[in-house]
Structures are given as structure tokens and as C-alpha cells.
Chains A and B, each alone.
Chain A
């Protein structure tokens, strides 16, 4: 009787214990993220910015991401325009194709595409680099030299992220739009001038504001989450891989959640 009771308790207890551990881990991670972000902003407002390193990181984060963002945005634009064109043509609303495509691109697809690509390429790279630095005692070496790792490593990456992400997002939107124009002409026989006229009539200034707000938030999520994981991972080579995966998963999840929250808060019916 006792053993059945113990077994039942174990069956119930294990998932509860596991859930408790996961929740505790999540809250700990969020707490660490907030601390790192606080110090990052503090150093920025104190003017402690290494401009040479920021420039170098801008190249790594921004310039080197252009190709992958181009490809992704191009095919996302193709697919989206194809779907929208076919549906709207059925309703005789082919002149609205440009507006619908551009609205989706500027409000959702542009920031998301650039964010996901940068999370995959840059977030993983930052987490791997910083974890390796932790494991090989390079971070300890900085501390012994009285150099704050957040000031030296996080601030330039964050500055580069918030500078380059809006550029990448707007670039992703532009590439997607070009793809949309091509497909709309081929699939629905909508002339580029008609397409662009529809874009002009649909897009408002506040759509750009939402676009840049999302880009800024995405950059913050990717850089701060990835740096935090890198600076708090210990162990060996295996842990570099685990940190990389965690950085990508946390960044992408954060991007999608934040994207929805911003959309919900900024949505105003036209």
C-alpha cells in the first residue's frame, strides 16, 4: 500500500519538481538579463562606449547579415505576394495587392525576418564566443585587469545591434517589396505603378514607427539574451553548443512574444 502511494507521489511529484526547476531557471535567466541590461544602459549613459569595437561589431552583426537577410526576405516576399495576389484577384481587388503586401512587410515580416536571421546568425555567434571566453578564463582575465565585461563586451555589441537592426529590417522590407512587385506582375498582372500606388495609399508614418520600435526591441532581445547566456555558462566544449542553442531559442521566442505585444499595443483600426 505504502509503495503504491510512494509511486503515485513520484509520478505526480516528478513533473511538478521538473516544472518548478524550469520555472526557477526561467526566472533566474530573466533576472540576470535585467541586471545585464541595467548595467549596459548605465555604461551607455555614462558615455563608456568603445567606438572602435562598436564599429567592428556593426560590421559583424549588420554588414555580414545582409546576404542572408536578402535571401530570406526575397523568398518571403515572393511567397506572401503569391498568396495575397491569388486571393485578392478572386475578389477583384488586385489594386489592393501592393497595400496588403507592404503593410504585412512593414508591420510584421520585415522586423521578424531580420530578427530571426540575426538571432540565428549573430545570437548564436555571440553566445558561442562569450561562452568560450568564460571557459578559457578570458572573462576572468578581464576582471583581474579591472575591466568590466559588460562594458567591454556587451555595450559595443548592443550599440551595434540597435544601430544595425533597423537598417536590416528596413532593408528586408524593401527586398520583400521588390519580390512582391515581381510576383504581383507575373501572377496577377498588376503593374508596378499600380502596386506602388497602393503601397503609398496604405502605409502611414506610424507603420514606420512600429517597424523601428520592433527592430529596436528585437536587437535588445537578441544581444542581451545571448550575452547573458554567454556570460553565465560554465563547463566545457559541450556547453558551448548548449549555450548556442539556448541563445537562439530564447532570442527567437522573445522576438515572437515581443512582436505580438507591440502589435497588440500599437494596433489602431484604420
Chain B
């Protein structure tokens, strides 16, 4: 076991840089996450939150820096669910297990268990188009956890949802965090989501980390960036538009 694994780390990001054309999105971001820890990445729109997730999932290449993942079992819950429309709920989950080479019986048992966890046992044979937005989101959760990931990312999991559904989704994140003991990143700008689901917060602005700390501290800090963001104030160093 190396030194890093002794520290129970699951993910390390060192001096991560990314630009799109002349626009520098990330100017050297560094952070790490331990197993069982849920980190919230918050910040105004366009600050690079989703770009970090895409980099961590190898969907885009970084311009510089290093990403060290201590597990290959990684899942991402997409903002828009991203379910395959031509497949049923059950088939969508089965696809995530494709590389596990399980027997049909084992696969069916795992899928049934995960669908039960998100309350969708009766919708196994439904197509995404036949589900409501909330059910699609829950299916997306089930697909993400079907491999029992060691690292899980949530991209704006409650954006655009009504308050009740947001609470249900937040409860899932908390439940999954307890059950899976996975390292998790929740990218969000919903106050209730980051206060309820995260252990630690990172505030991004203009491609840099402006503040880090616990969610409780975020509401009381004198840091002008975090204070403006937490109070949803127009006055402060974060200029929008």
C-alpha cells in the first residue's frame, strides 16, 4: 500500500488546467477526496464546474496537470439523465454491467436490487420516454450505482427539479453515500443540495478555487466570494454576465 492509499484517498487532482480556445476555464485546480467523503463544487454558471467532471471522467483531455484515481469503478449521474432512449430501464442498467461479465441471473438480481433502492421496481420494462423527469433522474441514479462505484460524480443533480423532488434526490445522495462509502463530487449551485449532501465545499470562480471549507462554515464565513455566493447577493467580487 502506498502513502496515498494509507491516507484513504480515492481521487487526487493536481494543478488541473483547461482552456477552450482563448478562454481559460481552469487555471490550475488542486484538491483530493477521501473514500466516503462527499465534496461539493459550487460556483457561478460557466466557472468550470461541469468541465472538472468531464475531465475526471476522461470525456475531455486536460491541457495540463494530473488526475490520479485510485479506482476504475467510476460513475457519473448526468444533469439531463442521459439514458439511452432505445433501451428499457432494465436494459439501461444492464448496459452499465456489460464489462462485468456477470451471469444473467446475477445481473438480474443486481438490477432488481438497485431499482428497488430507487423505488422503480415496477418500471423495469418501461422506456425512458414513458417515465416522468423525476423517474428518469432516479433511473440515472440506479444506472450509476449498479456497478457499486468507488468514485461517483453528480452533475447538477437537483437543477430544474421541484423542491420536493430535489429533497428526494438529495436523500438518495445521502443514502448512497452511506451505503457505498464512495468518494463523491456533487456539482451544484443549489443551496439546499450543498448544505444537505456535502462534507466539504469548494467554491470555484474564474477558473480558480476561491474558498474551501465545511458547508456550515460557508454560511458564516467572512470570505467575500463565499459570502456573496451563500447570500445570493448581487454585491461582491463575483461579477455575473
Contact B98 A141 (CB under 8 A): no
Residue in B75, B84, B96 whose CB lies within 8 Å of A138: B84
5 shortest A-B CB distances, which residue pairs? A137-B82, A141-B82, A144-B76, A145-B96, A144-B57
- Name the A residues within 8 Å of B99 (CB-CB): 145-147
* Residues on B with beta carbons closer than 8 Å to the beta carbon of A145: 95-96, 98-99
**B residues 95-123 in Cβ contact with A at 8 Å:** 95-96, 98-99
Q: Which residues of B contact A (CB under 8 A)?
A: 54, 57-59, 74-76, 78-80, 82-85, 95-96, 98-99, 143
Residue of A nearest to B153 (CB): A144
Closest Cβ of chain A: how far from B53's Cβ, in Å? Answer: 10
Which residues of chain A are near B75, meaning CB under 8 Å?
144
Q: How far is A140 from B54 in the complex, measured between Cα atoms in Å?
A: 9
Task: Please tell me which one of the listed residues A136, A140, A147 contacts residue B95 in the complex, with CB atoms under 8 A apart.
Answer: A147
Cα distance A142–B54 in the bound complex, in angstroms: 13
B59 CB contacts on chain A under 8 angstroms: 140, 143-144
- Nearest chain B CB to A256 CB, angstrom units: 32
* Assembled-state Cα–Cα distance A133/B79 (Å): 14
Q: Size of chain A's interface in residues, with CB distance under 8 A? A: 12
Chain B residue numbers with a CB within 8 Å of A142 are 84, 95
Contact between A144 and B98, CB atoms less than 8 A apart? no
Complexed CA–CA distance, A138 and B95 (Å): 12
Q: What residue in chain B is nearest A141 (Cβ atoms)?
A: B82
Q: Are A136 and B82 neighbours in the complex by a CB distance under 8 Å? A: yes
Rounded to whole angstroms, the CA-CA distance of A136 and B140 in the bound complex is 13
144-166 of chain A: CB within 8 A of chain B: 144-147
* Option from A138, A140, A143, A147 in Cβ contact (under 8 Å) with B85: A138
Per the bound structure, the CA–CA distance linking A146 and B149 in Å amounts to 13
* CA–CA, A137 and B85, complex, Å: 11
With A and B bound together, what is the CA distance between A83 and B140 in angstroms? 60
Q: Which of B57, B58, B83, B98 contacts A147 (CB 8 A)?
A: B98
Q: What is the CA–CA distance of A141 and B147 in the complex, to the nearest angstrom?
A: 14
Extra A-B contacts (5), CB below 8 Å, given A137-B80, A141-B82: A138-B85, A140-B54, A140-B57, A141-B78, A143-B59
Q: Are A141 and B84 in contact (CB under 8 A)?
A: yes
CB-defined contacts of A136 to chain B, threshold 8 Å: 80, 82, 85
Tell me, rounded to whole Å, the shortest Cβ–Cβ distance linking A231 to chain B: 14
Verify A138–B58 contact, CB threshold 8 A.
no
* Nearest residue, chain A, Cβ from B99: A146
Mind listing 14 A-B residue pairs with CB under 8 Å? Answer: A136-B80, A137-B78, A138-B84, A140-B54, A140-B76, A140-B78, A141-B83, A141-B84, A142-B84, A143-B58, A144-B57, A144-B74, A145-B99, A146-B99
CA distance A147 to B91 in the complex (A): 14
Residues in A whose Cβ lies below 8 Å from that of B54:
140
CA distance A145 to B80 in the complex (A): 16
Chain B hits for A138, CB < 8 A: 82-85
A128 smallest CB distance to B (angstroms): 12
Nearest A residue (CB) for B98: A147
How many Å from the CB of B71 to the closest CB on chain A? 13
